[in-house]
Structure 1
Amino acid sequence: MALRTTALLSVGVLLFLARGAPTDAGPATLPLRLTVENDLSNVTPETHFCSVVEGGVLLGALRRLQETQQDFKFSVRQDPDFGLLLLSVNGVAADEREQTYWEILSESSGEISRLDVGIGCYKPKANEHIILRFSSWTQQSS
């Protein structure tokens, strides 16, 4: 009986060590820089600094920023085919009739590229620069 108890305790300790000891710190957060641009008006771009939980998606960073910064607001719409679509940022809304939309970009080492997934799926990297650019699909975009 004592041998069995010792074996069970050993297995329990190994499982505990494999999973890691619980901490009060919670998951690590990654810093991000977020710039809001408007290609269709002469508005100065706004830059915000925020964070995302390691392994988390861009939507979480935007929600955290909205909760902590009064000058940043956004809304999304659930599309049955494409998931979450960024609908508006700071009161400027995309409009199909006007052929406008919010383009989501990432800047790395001076190169700007479009994200290949939306805000509900994209997992930012530490210190990444995310650009939310209000644009028209009738214009030539970068």
Structure 2
Amino acid sequence: MALKLFTVLCLTATVLLLRAQVDANVLFQLSVMNKINNQPIQRYNATAKTGGSLLGAMTRLKQTSNNFTFTGSENPDFGVFIESVNNVAGNFTDRTFWQILSNKSGTPTPTPVGVSCYFPMENEHIIFNLTTF
């Protein structure tokens, strides 16, 4: 009987811990850089669910901020491709696109995956940089 009670208590504690992790938020900074058009850097405080994608955090930010917008298109094989940020679109003719950088250690580096598969970390700095290819 004691073993069953212990097992039930352990399972209950595990479920509560997992639920707390799912309900928790990761806080990070998101910046938009557009030096091509000589625009000032725009900074936002953003949240993602623990284990949630950058796309989810961007969608949440778009819903709660009047001055952050983005558009994207979904590719069934590669996820969402960001087409525009704050009403500025990348342009094939001008050879521009929105590069996603992560600044975890003081040096911004490109993320290895896109917004659908990237999971922000606590206090990370994500930068959307309009650049050329």
Report the TM-score, using the length of structure 1 for normalisation: 0.81
**Aligned residues of 2:90 and 2:98 also touching (Cα < 8 A):** yes
1:22/1:98 Cα in 2 relative to 1: closer, same or farther (>3 Å)? Answer: closer
The count of residues paired between Structure 1 and Structure 2 equals 132
Per the alignment, residue 13 of structure 2 pairs with: 17
Per the alignment, residue 113 of structure 2 pairs with: 117
> Which moves more between the two structures, 17-26 or 69-78?
17-26
Q: Which runs of 5+ in 2 are unaligned?
A: none
Aligned equivalents of 2:67, 2:98: Cα separation in 1 = 18
Greater share of helix = 2
State the 1:80 CA deviation: 3.7
Q: 2:67 aligns with which of 49, 68, 71?
A: 71
- 2:40 counterpart of 1:27: no
CA RMSD of aligned residues (A): 2.4
Q: 1:51 aligns with which of 24, 47, 52?
A: 47
State the 1:135 CA deviation: 1.0
1:70/1:112 Cα in 2 relative to 1: closer, same or farther (>3 Å)? Answer: same
1:33/1:44 Cα in 2 relative to 1: closer, same or farther (>3 Å)? Answer: same
Which whole-Å deviations, capped at 9, do the CAs of 1:47-78 have from their partners, x for residues lacking one?
01111111111011101110110000001111
State the 1:20 CA deviation: 2.5
Secondary structure of residue in 2 paired with 1:131 = strand
Q: Which runs of 5+ in 1 are unaligned?
A: 1-5, 138-142
> Which moves more between the two structures, 73-82 or 100-109?
73-82
Code of the aligned partner of 1:61: A
1:15/1:64 Cα in 2 relative to 1: closer, same or farther (>3 Å)? Answer: same
State the 1:13 CA deviation: 4.5
Report the TM-score, using the length of structure 2 for normalisation: 0.86
Pick the structure with greater CA Rg: 1
Aligned equivalents of 2:20, 2:106: Cα separation in 1 = 38
> Which moves more between the two structures, 19-28 or 101-110?
19-28
